[in-house]
Amino acid sequence: MKAFIVNHYGKKEKLSLTEVAEPVVKETDILVQVHSAGVNLLDSKIRDGEFKMILPYKTPFTLGHDVAGVVTKIGSNVSKFKVGDEVYARPADHRIGAFAELIAMNEKDVAIKPKNISMEEAASIPLVGLTAWQALIEKANLKKGQKVLIQAGSGGVGTFAIQLAKHLGATVATTTSATNYDLVKSLGADVVIDYRKEDFKTILKDYDVVLNSQDKKTLEKSLRILKPNGKVISISGPPDPDFGKVINANWVLKIILKFLSAGIRKKAKRLGVNFSFLFMRAQGEQLNQITKLIESGVIKPVMDKVFPFEQTNEAMSYVETGRAKGKVVVKIK
Ligand SMILES: NC(=O)c1ccc[n+]([C@@H]2O[C@H](COP(=O)([O-])OP(=O)(O)OC[C@H]3O[C@@H](n4cnc5c(N)ncnc54)[C@H](OP(=O)(O)O)[C@@H]3O)[C@@H](O)[C@H]2O)c1
């Protein structure tokens, strides 16, 4: 089968379109013919080598963290899916490889694709949808009547997170540039801050939750808009000691993770607020809940561009500009 693989780590490295062996289907795996694959900044960061310490993929390997397609084969112990099912997923770490014609995934990481959206739209959802779900519902326990700041509301995570937070009954503030004002308003944002002209720190106060996806300076400012005991969930780092436990890090890595987040944890403690890091994980059950929200019209995919499979490198470069409005997808079938 054809797949886009990483031969060497590095910022300037391009993925190469290569003929590779079909994936092995284990007992609890399903084999999926990939129709579309979502493109995420995580793909670029892994290719660049930024995640080598946490996710040490051995080259050559196939990249791609979001998939929508059709089940073509099931393992002997699969109970939830049958051949012909239309599915979508964020395959688990160490099982990635959506930039390919076929991918094998554990059935527990997969869900039936929402019936009311296309394969391209479905491939845009899993990673950002699960990120928003795990940040706002699992970690922050966001409740009706609370106030949340979702940074970069016009991006992949932001466009989903705004809709989810509104569904949960929260008041939503978001940052983006003026060109995306109408987009984030249409998704339900109550307060829109143009980050190029205004400073959210001087506008927002007494917030319950911040979903931080930007740099260190923005993270530090986020702590200052919270009410006592409020929570910043950061998806752009730095990783915290709990994350070390989640990934079962060795003691050296645990010390490094503790050190990386020591400063921000100390600042949060001094302000009487909470900081935590989230690295999203594959989760088929949560994706089933997301399917329901999409089918009932509560959440709509926000698509920027669809690239043909051959232009996967161009799709990644486009995402790397940081200007995407919603999601970028490659169409494989
Ligand atoms: N830890 C995890 O599990 C996890 C999961 C998903 C994503 N992430 C990380 O979260 C970050 C965001 O991901 P994403 O996929 O949502 O990114 P994205 O789709 O590439 O975000 C692009 C959007 O960000 C906006 N933006 C750029 N700079 C901004 C700023 N300073 N303030 C506010 N908005 C800004 C842009 O709007 P303008 O064009 O108007 O500037 C654009 O619409 C990335 O670093 C990604 O790696 C982490």
pLDDT digits (tens, 9 = 90+) for 210-220: 999 999 999 99
- Considering only CA atoms, which residue is closest to atom 45 of ligand 1? 236
Is the beta carbon of 34 within 6 A of some atom in ligand 1?
Answer: no
Q: What are the backbone angles phi and psi of residue 37, rounded to the nearest 5°?
A: -135, 130
Q: What is the pTM of this model?
A: 0.99
Ligand 1 atom closest to Cα of residue 323: 39
Picking from 95, 40, 36, the residue whose alpha carbon sits closest to that of residue 70 is: 36
Distance 322 CA to ligand 1 centre (A): 6
Element (H, E) at 123: helix 119-123
Closest-CA residue, ligand 1 atom 15, reads 156
Separation CA 114–CA 108 (nearest Å): 17
Cα distance between residue 92 and residue 323, in whole Å: 27
Identify the segments of the chain with pLDDT beneath 70: none
CB of 36 closer than 6 A to ligand 1?
no
- Is the C-beta atom of 161 inside 6 A of ligand 1? no
* pLDDT for residue 118: 98
Q: Where are the beta strands (DSSP E) in 167-280?
A: 171-176, 191-194, 207-212, 226-234, 274-277
Helix, strand, coil in percent for the chain, rounding step 5: 35, 25, 40
Give the separation between CA 74 and CA 87, rounded to whole angstroms: 13
How far is CA 7 from its chain centroid?
24
Residue-level pLDDT at 308: 98
pLDDT at 329: 98
**pLDDT value of position 12:** 85
Question: How many of the other CB atoms lie within 10 Å of CB of 242?
Answer: 12
- In ligand 1, which atom is closest to the CA atom of 234? 1
Say how many CA atoms lie within 13 Å of 128 toward its Cβ.
Answer: 33
Please tell me the distance between residue 65's alpha carbon and the centre of ligand 1 in angstroms: 16
Starting at the edge strand found earlier in the chain, the sheet holding 61-62 runs: 16-19, 2-6, 61-62
> pLDDT, tens digit, for every residue of 23-67?
999 999 999 999 999 999 999 999 999 999 999 999 999 999 999
Q: What contacts 208, CB < 8 A, 6 or more positions away?
A: 140, 142, 146, 147, 148, 170, 226, 227, 230, 231
The β-bridge partners of 192 are 174
Question: From atom 18 of ligand 1, which residue's Cα is the shortest distance away?
Answer: 155
Which tokens hold the place of 279? 């690295």
Q: Whose alpha carbon is nearest atom 12 of ligand 1?
A: 213
Q: Look up residue 224 and give its two tokens.
A: 């200052």
d(CA 327, CA 316): 11
SS (H, E, C) 54-111: CCCCCCCEECCCEEEEEEEEECCCCCCCCCCCEEEECCCCCCCCCCECEEEEEHHHEE
CA angle, residues 254, 260, 265, in degrees to nearest 5: 100
Whether residue 321 has its Cβ less than 6 Å from ligand 1: no
How far, in Å, CA of 20 to CA of 262, rounded?
Answer: 43
Q: Is the CB of 157 under 6 A from ligand 1?
A: yes
**Which of 249, 219, 244 lies closest to 234, judged by CA?**
219
Place of tokens 């403690």: 269
Q: Using a 6 Å cutoff on CB, does residue 214 contact ligand 1?
A: yes
> 156 alpha carbon to ligand 1 midpoint, in Å?
7
